Amino acid sequence: MSRLIKKCNDFGAGGVSVAIGELADGLRVDLDKVPKKYAGLDGTELAISESQERMAVVVDPGDVDAFLGYAAEENLEAVAVATVTEEPRLVLNWRGKDIVNLKRAFLDTNGAHQETEVKVEIPDEKENYFKRYALEKVGEQAEAGDIRGAWLTLLDDLNVCSQKGLVEMFDSSIGAASVLMPYGGQYQLTETQAMVAKLPVLKGRTDTVTMMSYGFDPYLSSWSPYHGAIYAVVESMAKIVANGGDYSKIRFTFQEYFRRMTEDPARWSQPFAALLGAYDAQIGFGLPSIGGKDSMSGTFNDIDVPPTLVSFAVDIAKYGDIVTPELKTPGNKLVRFAIEKDDFDIPMYEAVMDLYDAVHQLMQEKAIVSAYALDAKGAAAALAKMAFGNRLGVTVEADVDARELFCNGLGDLLVEMPEEKLALLKEREIAYRLVGTVTAEPVLRAGQTQIALEEALNAWTTRLEKVFPTRAAAGKEPVESREYRTEQVYVCRHKVARPTVFIPVFPGTNCEYDSAKAFERAGADVVTRVFRNQSASDIRESVEVFEQAIGQAQIIMFPGGFSAGDEPDGSAKFFATAFQNARLKEAVTKLLEERDGLALGICNGFQALIKLGLVPYGQILGQKEDSPTLTFNTINRHISKMVYTRVVTNKSPWLQGAELGATYCNPASHGEGRFVAPREWIDRLFANGQVATQYADPQGNVSMDEEYNINGSYAAIEGITSPDGRVLGKMAHSERRDTAVAMNIYGEQDLKIFESGVRYFL
């Protein structure tokens, strides 16, 4: 389908006139054909109204029917609304009349030619951002010799403190391609500075990753928009380098936001200076910006936004190049590389490039095992954040003073190196500063100051806990974990050389590709079909297609996602409603009872199995008043993070490749994953070996600690099976696993669920 598309544009604030109007020089748009959410819109409203979540594509006239056919297969509403014309004019027609008819040459001028005078304001040297502490209180404490107070104050600052409760609201593992999770280390507490993801490929494998980071300091930009833009570029580069990227491959995109312009020449100072700074950095580094977006409307009455130019750096690499930021090994040394600046605090571009290139080479040689790009808050914040992930400690060198710990470090890099590798720095004449040593004891030490890592963590995590909570319950009481071992595992009587898996796709499903790849890697054939519901005939045809697909399959897999948006009746309602259809119910029953088939449901799919009754009953019976169910997480929001689960039964064919009693790590991403059931049901499930997995800590300890039992599930239950084990439902996404995925997470990720399911039929 993608090969048919010649051009593509997303709809935004400009609506039809912009999204379609940008696709070709000559266009004739029929506004009457544009799909509408609301009746009564006139031509002007149709032309310029914001219409998110839509795309406009250009296809060859001969491919229109084929494209519309593919869209229908995917249950997408697609309509031909415009024609590309030879004459370079944009024509919008509504109700038989041309309401817009403009020359492309005029549109390309962006309207009337304008000029203005600019008065550039020079930053005040007395307020030089590079010669003072970024946080005034931290500076006062540091200068007074209160290193402990300064460090804890720094970690508590809004621009330094943990945002984990906010970050966890967004799915960070979809696509099974996230090389770095947002927080890494065994305890998932070292925040990453760059997005790194494998290049998505529909078939085959790839070792290519894309990287993206950003740089911006509003306080620096408020002092000097020129310096602010330069160091936005530098900071975005430094983060890429710290994660293993090659600076020379970087391309930028800038996001700009400034106060509203007037006829006052001084009002133009900020964007003019910022753009000059960004231009200077691009020329200095020889790296271009390939895109961007700007706004000049950041004023409300007499309130202006800070002068804002955010630099996003984009790079490509191999996943073997990637360096994760959490500290690795006690005894390793912590080294700081500082960038050179001129008398005006402008980076010495050639020297910066030489440094970043040297660091990249050291990373290629595995001489650097973790790294962090510093910002204006200095080295102290980076040292703590790097230590949190694996709960290691740091002892700062005796000759490192308070100013070095807390002074501006924009563009500098802090790296962890094995002690024996330090000789490379001397051999290659790379200037460096030895900052400290990694310790096994979880303590931050600087001179006579000692801060227990737990105290530092408390300072770092408390500030936003009431706004973006990470836990709703304080309880951490242990939970009984009863292992069930049996030799009586269900044996398939209908063997096949290569089983077929049917994956139904509903509006809102988003894990079908990950699930299909997991089964294909395991040796199965996979059939996915989309349930179409745009008309009554679509629904009838979909039931027929699903019935036929189930009849030809050995396994049915309900994938994750948000079927029908999970509103208003809760999760997986679309799945459950469709499979209550008599024909589909009969097809599933035959699969399980006559052909020894298997069923698997993950996340939204687990919710579907629960609603249908396939777990815990093994049949489509629906739910009873006392049936186990899945409800809202105790924290009452979506949670996306890696979870550890302990395997507590070997009864299920799905778990034959997993080790009973072992702990595995998989991503979770859900808002309604809390397993709830009466005590009688929980006891019955354990007694019958139907509790498949329980949430646990990395060591396999099961409890109600919400850090690990992330949704507050009763008895910490993460997955259950049907009575004979052939139907398995679980919340954590075992399908979101692949080579180099979640590299900064510790623990075995492969439960071998998919391999076990395939092997059952062989």
- Structural contact between residues 349 and 284, judged by C-beta atoms closer than 8 angstroms: yes
pLDDT mean over 510-519:
96
Residues 177/181/182/188 CA torsion (nearest 10 deg): 170
pLDDT of residue 361: 98
Look at residue 566 and tell me whether its pLDDT is greater than 70: no
pLDDT of residue 575: 84
Q: Side by side, which strands form the sheet with 89-94?
A: 82-84, 27-30, 89-94, 97-103
Residue 173, C-beta contacts closer than 8 angstroms, at least 6 positions apart: 181, 640, 642, 667, 669, 733, 736, 742
Angle at 682 between CA 605 and CA 585, to 5 degrees: 35
Q: How many CA atoms lie within 13 A of 192 on its CB side?
A: 29
> pLDDT for 409-448, tens place per residue?
999 999 999 999 999 999 999 999 999 999 999 999 999 9
- Binning pLDDT at 50, 70 and 90, where does residue 367 land? very high
In whole angstroms, what is the distance from residue 314 CA to residue 250 CA?
5
pLDDT of residue 649: 98
Which residue blocks in 104-201 are alpha helix, DSSP H?
A: 104-107, 136-143, 147-156, 164-167
pLDDT of residue 49: 84
Look at residue 132 and tell me whether its pLDDT is greater than 90: yes
- Structural contact between residues 445 and 396, judged by C-beta atoms closer than 8 angstroms: yes
| Catalytic residue check, 735 | yes
In whole angstroms, what is the distance from residue 523 CA to residue 305 CA?
56
pLDDT mean over 449-465:
98
Residue 505, C-beta contacts closer than 8 angstroms, at least 6 positions apart: 512, 528, 529, 530, 531, 559
Higher pLDDT, 473 or 542: 542
pLDDT of residue 389: 98
- Binning pLDDT at 50, 70 and 90, where does residue 569 land? low
Bridge partners of 502, per DSSP, are: 527, 556
Q: How many CA atoms lie within 13 A of 528 on its CB side?
A: 18
Look at residue 544 and tell me whether its pLDDT is greater than 70: yes
Look at residue 667 and tell me whether its pLDDT is greater than 80: yes
> pLDDT for 574-602, tens place per residue?
888 899 999 999 999 999 999 999 999 99
- Binning pLDDT at 50, 70 and 90, where does residue 537 land? very high
pLDDT mean over 634-662:
97
- Binning pLDDT at 50, 70 and 90, where does residue 54 land? confident
> pLDDT for 491-503, tens place per residue?
999 999 999 999 9
- Structural contact between residues 560 and 516, judged by C-beta atoms closer than 8 angstroms: no
Given the residues 407, 492, 603, 665, select the one marked as catalytic.
Answer: 603
Look at residue 453 and tell me whether its pLDDT is greater than 70: yes
- Binning pLDDT at 50, 70 and 90, where does residue 531 land? very high
pLDDT of residue 679: 97
In whole angstroms, what is the distance from residue 684 CA to residue 237 CA?
57
pTM of the model: 0.95
In whole angstroms, what is the distance from residue 498 CA to residue 477 CA?
46
Given the residues 227, 360, 670, 733, select the one marked as catalytic.
Answer: 733
- Structural contact between residues 598 and 727, judged by C-beta atoms closer than 8 angstroms: yes
Bridge partners of 184, per DSSP, are: 190
pLDDT mean over 207-222:
98
Look at residue 568 and tell me whether its pLDDT is greater than 60: no
- Structural contact between residues 634 and 712, judged by C-beta atoms closer than 8 angstroms: yes
- Binning pLDDT at 50, 70 and 90, where does residue 11 land? confident
Look at residue 481 and tell me whether its pLDDT is greater than 80: yes
Q: Write phi, then psi, for 711 (nearest 5 degrees).
A: -115, 5
| Catalytic residue check, 407 | no
- Binning pLDDT at 50, 70 and 90, where does residue 565 land? low
| Catalytic residue check, 511 | no
N- to C-terminal Cα separation, the chain: 35
pLDDT of residue 486: 97
Q: If you ran DSSP here, which 8-state letter would residue 37 be given?
A: S
For the chain, the helix, strand and coil percentages under 3-state DSSP, each to the nearest 5:
35, 25, 45
Look at residue 570 and tell me whether its pLDDT is greater than 60: no
Look at residue 567 and tell me whether its pLDDT is greater than 80: no
- Binning pLDDT at 50, 70 and 90, where does residue 249 land? very high
- Structural contact between residues 731 and 491, judged by C-beta atoms closer than 8 angstroms: no
- Average pLDDT along the chain: 95
Burial class (CB in 10 A: 0-12, 13-18, 19+), 328: middle
Which residue in this structure is represented by tokens 């954040």? Answer: 385
pLDDT of residue 355: 98
pLDDT mean over 336-358:
98
- Binning pLDDT at 50, 70 and 90, where does residue 473 land? confident
Least confident of 30-44, 148-162, 210-224, 566-580: 566-580
Given the residues 168, 416, 735, 755, select the one marked as catalytic.
Answer: 735
Secondary structure element (H or E) that encloses residue 691, with its range: strand 691-696
pLDDT of residue 143: 96
Structural domains in the chain, CATH included, are 2-107 (3.90.650.10), 126-462 (3.30.1330.10), 500-759 (3.40.50.880)
pLDDT mean over 536-557:
97
pLDDT mean over 596-625:
96
Look at residue 171 and tell me whether its pLDDT is greater than 70: yes
In the chain, % of residues over pLDDT 90: 90
> pLDDT for 257-274, tens place per residue?
999 999 999 999 999 999
